[in-house]
Amino acid sequence: MATEHLTRTELGRALGLEAGDVALPVSARSLTRREMLARDWREIRWIVPAYLLLILAAGATVALADTIPDRVRWLPLGFAAGAIALGIFAWLRLRRSRSYEDPMIAVEVADDAVTLRSGGDTVVKAYEALNVVRVVTRAPRKSLYFDGVVLDTELGRIVLGDPDFADGNVAAGAILRRFEALGLTVGPRA
């Protein structure tokens, strides 16, 4: 997708920034360990039924076809190896959520400022002082998706978006809408 030929409105629509076109204040919070684990399980839960369906199809083929038993004797070993490979794949996918520690970050986007909370620390930033380093997007298969923004704050770099926050894209979109309304630009500030 050639984004340089899009107007600001078209780019906002393509990125899904209309999510930020909501009544303020908007809040987002970092995901808990349980929410992160549930999200990762949703990504891999289709594996077991799909694999069982594959085993059922192979078993039906062997039972209904004229086969020589010696030629299909390897099937159980092949399916066992496949099950081990899928188990390793699932374990690797869930590794992130097992080691995840909730940073307990909360972001509130209001008309005049953004409030960031982490633990006992609270930072209130006016939009003119807020440092939005970049807009996070991904572009699989010639599509463009909005994944949030990166904020440079006194609490450290915060990647505000749905992958690590509840309602993260809505809050990130609201920040970008306020930036546009105030005529501010996104990018690192000195």
Residues 78 and 137 occupy one common structural domain: no
Domain assignment of residue 80, given as a range: 37-98
Convert the pLDDT of each residue in 13-37 to its tens digit: 555 555 556 788 889 999 998 998 8
- Domain annotation covers residue 190: no
- Domain annotation covers residue 82: yes
Alpha carbons 47 and 42: distance in angstroms, whole number? 10
Residues 19 and 59 occupy one common structural domain: no
- Domain annotation covers residue 13: yes
Convert the pLDDT of each residue in 85-143 to its tens digit: 888 888 888 887 788 888 899 999 998 999 999 988 999 999 898 888 888 877 777 77
In the chain, how many domains are there?
Answer: 2
- Domain annotation covers residue 156: yes
- Domain annotation covers residue 107: yes
Q: What is the mean pLDDT of residues 64-75?
A: 74
Phi-psi region of 81 (alpha: psi -120 to 50; beta: other; left: phi over 0): alpha
Q: Does an H or E element contain 7, and which? A: none
CATH number, domain of 140, equals 2.30.29
- C-alpha torsion angle, residues 89, 91, 95, 97 (rounded to 10): 100
- Domain annotation covers residue 113: yes
Q: Which region among 9-13, 59-63, 71-75 has the lowest average model confidence (pLDDT)?
A: 9-13
102 close to 32: Cβ distance less than 8 angstroms? yes
The token duo for 182 is 């105030």
- Kindly report whether the global pTM for this prediction surpasses the value 0.75: no
